[in-house]
Amino acid sequence: MSGGAGNADGEAEAPTGSRRAVVAKRVDSGEADLAEISQLAAAAGYEVAGELTQTRTEDAAFMFGEGKVAELRDLVRRTDAEAVIVDNDVGPYQTFNIGGVLPEGVEVVDRFTLILEIFGQRANTRKAQLQVELAELRYELPRAEAKASLAKRDERPGFMGLGEYDESVERDIKRQISEIRDELESIAEKEEARREQRRDSGFELVALAGYTNAGKSTLMRRLADELAVDENDDRHRDLDTTAESQDMLFTTLGTTTRRAEMEKRDVLLTDTVGFISDLPHWLVESFESTLDSVYRADLVLLVVDASEPVAEMREKLVTSHDTLYERNEAPVVTVFNKVDRLAPGELAEKRAALSGVAPDPIAVSAKTGAGVAELRDRVEDELPDWERERLVLPVSDDAMSLVSWVHDHGYVAEETYAGDQVTVEFEAKPSIVARARAKAAELAPAESA
């Protein structure tokens, strides 16, 4: 995974040799915020050398007004920037026009091209690489269609400098999209089988969701430090024993899973790629395979940065809920993280202000560990109910193997021996209880109550 080191304040620094860029944004009203696009630029390896904003309606030809584009050109010259990163969805015609005003060789990168660039840098698994390729192709398809429309209308190839259009390009993109979807479906089927195998082994599946930089990876490390997955265990050979926690966007692109031992239950925690604001539907759909780990979990922990302003927290909570509740049936617990950054009384104020979208959040600091014990308790409370069972077994090698199996797959409250019998009282998932009963029935003489 690529990425720069952090400075003393925990902020991401541009890596050595990074390209200089100017970040720019247009908004219809209000004041443009460049904080997130600057973080994205840094995550992609750019050094932000200048900033430019404009509040006005979109210009069909340039996105910005022509005068502002001239300002952008001058800023690029003064800062010696090699790229302009526009925090908007810039059309192919607008991209060409802006580039025509800028000094020769300066690249125009829009928000989604930048995101795809970051994803491409971080894609270290076949699944992640396929999802990035799918997103890139879905991004390119409407642009290829636009070239076709413009070229046909003008009856000249390369109309408005968009390049010569060949209808086979569009067909090839659609063919590649279909092939990638087929391969991702095959991977998804294998992952679903693996999830069911883990459930059959007694594991509960808990997913961490939330926006980038909310502290999901740090929280995962805090929850899972006590017990790492055995990398030599073939049942879980795909599991990662580490999760990065740098203060950068997208340090986690694919899924990272670790094992955490609660008081009663064995839990597998999965950290996924973080949400970011203003993502188009086609980009979210391209990473649907990764989001399956969230949709198919037994419980979702929605991690929110509690140090952000209330308005920002509310917007992210609403967007996250829209994404999660679209397909997810598991309970969602909201986690207010980074409470160590709050002033006295600020947490209570934010709880009250956000009670409509986060009615019962749990407050933690993944950095200091505050509230993590309470979070563990909450996880156990929110997971699907277990059944209680009491088995009376004859003392034998087979019975001892069954008792050991119950210890591995459930929580044994009491184990007693009397004469030639052993009594084991335990709690476990209904499927585990049913299997324990079936195994006990095979022992003779066997007795259960």
Going by the annotation, the residues of the binding site are: 210-217, 252, 271-274, 337-340, 365-367
**Binding site, annotated residues for GTP:** 210-217, 271-274, 337-340, 365-367
Query: How many whole angstroms separate alpha carbon 203 and alpha carbon 227?
Result: 14
Reduce the secondary structure of 169-223 to three states and give it as a string: HHHHHHHHHHHHHHHHHHHHHHHHHHHHHHHHCCCEEEEEEEECCCCHHHHHHHH
Query: How many whole angstroms separate alpha carbon 257 and alpha carbon 245?
Result: 14
**237 C-beta neighbours (distance < 10 Å), count:** 11
**Helical ranges in 201-328 per DSSP H:** 216-224, 281-286, 288-295, 310-327
Task: List CB contacts of 412: < 8 A, sequence separation 6 or more.
Answer: 406, 424, 425, 426
Conformational region of residue 209, where left means phi above 0, alpha means psi within -120 to 50, and beta covers everything else: beta
Supply 360's token pair.
């019962």
Among candidates 362, 351, 36, which has minimal Cα distance to 211?
36
| Helix or strand holding residue 260 (H, E) | strand 256-261
Query: How many whole angstroms separate alpha carbon 281 and alpha carbon 285?
Result: 6
Asked if 213 and 250 count as a contact pair (C-beta separation under 8 A), the reply is no
**Binding site, annotated residues for Mg(2+):** 217, 252
| Helix or strand holding residue 23 (H, E) | strand 19-27
For residue 34, which amino acid is it? Answer: L
Query: How many whole angstroms separate alpha carbon 46 and alpha carbon 17?
Result: 9
Helices 126-154/167-200 angle, 10° precision: 160
445 upstream amide cis, omega within 30 of 0:
yes
- Alpha-carbon torsion, ordered 352, 354, 360, 362, to 10 deg: -90
